[in-house]
Structure 1
Amino acid sequence: MTALPDQGYRPVSRADADGSLAMVEDRLEDFVAQRCQVLLDVSPDLAPVTEMVRHLAHGGKRLRASFCLWGWRGGGGDGQDAAIDGAAALELFHLAALVHDDVMDHSATRRGSSTAHEAFAARHRDEILDGDAADFGTGAALLIGDLCLTWSDELLSHAVVDPSRRTAVRGVYDLMRSQVMAGQYLDMLEQARPGTRPHESRLVLRYKSAKYTVEHPLLLGGALSGASADVLDAYRRFGVPVGEAFQLRDDVLGVFGDPARTGKPVGDDLREGKKTLLVLAALERADVVQRRLLQRHLGDPGLTDRAVAELQDVLVDTGALADVERQITQLTEQGVEAIGAGAVPKSVATGLAELALSIAGRTA
């Protein structure tokens, strides 16, 4: 496998002052290695699968783990092992979502390397196997995603918590998984429907990404620590707007991001024709010429760099980019205000505010 490039950005600031994220990293690496050995004991032919899973599990922002750890701290948790297991389980669930999402989006790269389905399609061609290489790659990626999903559930089951908290922990985790799948389907549906539906696009943004990036990891950490109802409510009021700000920033980076930092070609979202709120804002404000340009180029997989630049100009000239930037700022401020309202310990509220500002202004 191609070596994973340096991920650079790790938005934790002093969130990892106690080394918790490093412990999550170690736990994830050890757990995945153990489960990969189970596969290798079945057959050495599974070596490419284990290599890919270990490759995918290395690096990344660890945002969900960070929010889970902060949620645990804010609840006054003792005995860190449960929080470490919960945070690592979230990262495995995220891997499953990424692998499946790349298949659905036909993405060629992720974090600067080939996506799972592309890598296995290439392996099929290199080894001159029978059948269709793309189908083989898709099948392998789906199984790898399913493995990560299964192992995520298994890892969460290892989290040692007070028996009285288990129902709450499972409740958060199960709700998160169901809502992400619902958001994924709604995203597929919106891309397939003609026309634009801003309300539905906002719904996709919230359930496919925003809630499971911030709110649910916070609530999981809170449930693991036995946080009070007031603290959990503060997490919700913080998590939803900050999660939406995160996804809006992601949409901006999908069009304007530096490939060297995002790990994906510039304009990939435009080639996929994603109906993000950024694109919808441009369509709503565009004049006749701008609208024709958007309609002609959006969703063109062969979009040239010049055409990408033309679309970027439309997004800027219509004020769509500025509008999304204002929304990111407003949502982040809303979350920061909510977390500082008093229910959450000051040190945790400060850490979460720092993390919110960091992800709102990130460049990767």
Structure 2
Amino acid sequence: MHDHTGFKERVDGVLVRLADEEEETLLALHTELFPLTEQLRRSLARGKRIRAAFLYWGWRAAGQPDCEAVIRAAAAMELVHAAACTHDDIIDGSRMRHGQLTAHAAFDAAGQRSTALAMILGDLLMGYAGHLFTSCGLPGAYLARTVPLWTALMRETMAGEFLEVLRTAAAPAREPRVAESLEVARYKTAKYTVERPLQLGSTLGGGPGALSEAFSAYGLPLGEAFQLRDDLLGTFGDPARTGKSNLDDLRGGKPTALLALTLEAAGEDDRRLLAKLVGNPELVPEEAASVRELMDRCGARQRVEDMIRDRIGRAAGALDTVPMPAEARSALRELAGTAADRSL
């Protein structure tokens, strides 16, 4: 079994050192930047380091050995994720993540211009991602061949976020559709969480085109399963375990596959209930419970579980289509289970 705890500690070490170095540099510019350095450190303090793991095992699948340089390159994926989460929390109005105040909520609690400062933090995190990746210590020729993938990762992530915002704002005139929800999941989550980190790792390692293709066949369904699980956690999850609210998605009317499937199966009376409650920013827990009951009763929740199971199976099968070291194959099978089969 892959020692993910040990791997996570190595990635955490890289991020702590980055936070230390940047805190010193920023405070040397001006001591009033302390709130920025504080939130920078907090935004990097938690996480399962799944994206870093995918880049690492993409590298190992290409036949390359373990080294500290690739750990630094992998850690850059966590900076991309921290940046995306910071911006996503602003867009969604989410105030809790990992059981702590989100960046914009923390700035707000301190009486500061919350949205503006959190946007700056998110931009800074994305800049640090590029810096850490390009200064990781791998040869310049290795890094150069990843430029198209790095560009694609940025483009696709922003496209997914943009589409979700457009489609959320379009409600209730435009009901969510399953295919459109999965399209957003593909760009917003699947590609930057699984597919692109794997391909960045294998491309850094000089892996063949067939390996990159297999990683698309593995990464896209697994990334969709990851987002589908996130959708379930966002509505049915226990905040004490997930560290975030289970009301935000319903209050925001987020066009998830779960909501789309519920609308497909709902009768006229249930549709009226959904129209009244979903998208209401003042939704209370008792009302949310009635929406969850409907999602269970109409079979939407189970259908999402079935979709997750199907995608995990497809991802696992893709690993058998291309040669790779046994350790890498085993680690990726393990990651497929843990990434999308998280507890409610």
TM-score bracket for this pair, using the shorter chain length:
over 0.9
1:195 aligns with 2:182: no
Q: Which runs of 5+ in 1 are unaligned?
A: 1-12, 125-132
Taking the aligned partners of 1:145 and 1:272, their CA distance within structure 2 comes to: 21
Counterpart selection for 1:37 from 15, 19, 24: 24
Partner in structure 2 of residue 82 of structure 1: 69
Give matches, 1:213-228, under 5 Å: 213-228=193-208
Task: Measure how far apart 1:347 and its partner are.
Answer: 2.3
Contact 1:39 1:46 in 2 (8 A): yes
Aligned residue for 2:321, secondary structure, equals coil
- Which of 25, 35, 52 is residue 48 of structure 1 equivalent to? 35
* Counterpart AA for 2:4: D
1:156 paired to 2:103: no
Unaligned 5+ segments in structure 2 are: none
Once the two structures are superposed, what CA deviation does each residue of 1:18-71 show, in whole Å capped at 9, x if it has no partner?
A: x33322111111012111211100111111111111011011111101111111
Q: Name the counterpart of 2:47.
A: 60
| Separation in structure 1 between the aligned mates of residue 245 and residue 85 of structure 2, nearest angstrom | 17
Does residue 14 in structure 1 map to residue 2 in structure 2?
A: yes
Structure 1 counterpart of 2:27, one-letter code: L
Q: In the alignment, which residue of structure 2 is the partner of 1:290?
A: 270
Q: Which amino acid aligns with 2:119?
A: L
Contact 2:234 2:248 in 1 (8 A): yes
1:123 aligns with 2:98: no
**8 Å CA contact 1:71, 1:222 repeated in 2:** yes
Structure 2: which amino acid aligns with 1:210?
A
TM-score in terms of structure 2 length: 0.95
- Tell me if the contact between 1:77 and 1:224 (Cα under 8 Å) persists in the aligned partners: no
CA deviation after TM superposition for structure 1 residue 79, in Å: 5.8
| Distance in 1 (alpha carbons) for counterparts of 2:319 and 2:254 | 32
**Bigger mean CA deviation after superposition, 71-80 or 83-92:** 71-80
Q: Name 1:314's counterpart in structure 2.
A: 294
Letter in 2 for 1:282: T
The answer to whether the Cα contact below 8 Å between 2:168 and 2:252 also exists between their aligned partners in 1 is: no
Give SS of 2:2's match.
Answer: helix
The alpha-carbon deviation at position 197 of structure 1 amounts to: 4.3
What CA RMSD, in Å, does the superposition of the two structures yield over aligned residues? 1.5
Aligned residues: 341
**Structure-1 separation of matches of 2:184 and 2:336:** 21
- Aligned in 2, Cα 1:239/1:248: closer, same or farther, shift over 3 Å? same
Decide whether aligned partners of structure 1 residues 20 and 266 sit closer, same or farther in structure 2, where only a CA change above 3 A counts.
Answer: closer
**CA deviation string 1:141-163 (max 9, x = no partner):** 00111110111111111023334
Give 1:165's aligned amino acid. Answer: Y
Distance 1:355 1:285 in 2: 33
Q: Counterpart of 2:110 in 1: which secondary structure?
A: helix
* 1:295-345 CA-partner distances (Å, limit 9, x unpaired): 110011221111111000110111111111110000000000001234222
Distance 2:3 2:151 in 1: 26
Counterpart position of 1:146: 123
1:240 aligns with 2:228: no
With the length of structure 1 as denominator, give the TM-score of the two structures. Answer: 0.90
Q: How does 1:258-337 map to 2 (within 5 A)?
A: 258-337=238-317
Distance across 2 between alignment mates of 1:79 and 1:70? 10
The structure 1 residue matched to 2:148, chosen from 171, 193, 218, is 171
Write the letter of the residue equivalent to 2:147. R
Question: Which structure 1 residue ranges, 4+ long, deviate > 3 Å from structure 2?
Answer: none
- The Cα shift of 1:360 comes to 2.1
Provide closer, same or farther for how the CA distance between residues 176 and 63 of structure 1 changes in structure 2, counting only shifts above 3 A: same
Asked if structure 2 preserves the Cα contact closer than 8 Å seen for 1:65 and 1:90, the reply is yes
Q: In the alignment, residue 116 of structure 1 is paired with which amino acid? A: A
Amino acid at match of 1:123: A
Rounded Cα–Cα distance in structure 1 between residues aligned with 2:33 and 2:214? 45
Distance (whole Å) between structure 1 residues aligned to residue 135 and residue 338 of structure 2: 31
Matched, 1:358 2:335: no
Work out the percentage of aligned pairs sharing the same amino acid.
Answer: 38
The one-letter code matched in structure 1 to 2:68 is D
Asked whether the equivalents of residues 82 and 160 of structure 1 are also in contact (C-alpha less than 8 Å), the reply is yes
Q: Give distance in 2, aligned partners of 1:187 and 1:259.
A: 23
The range that moved more, 74-83 or 147-156, is 74-83
8 Å Cα contact 1:86-1:159 kept in structure 2 = yes
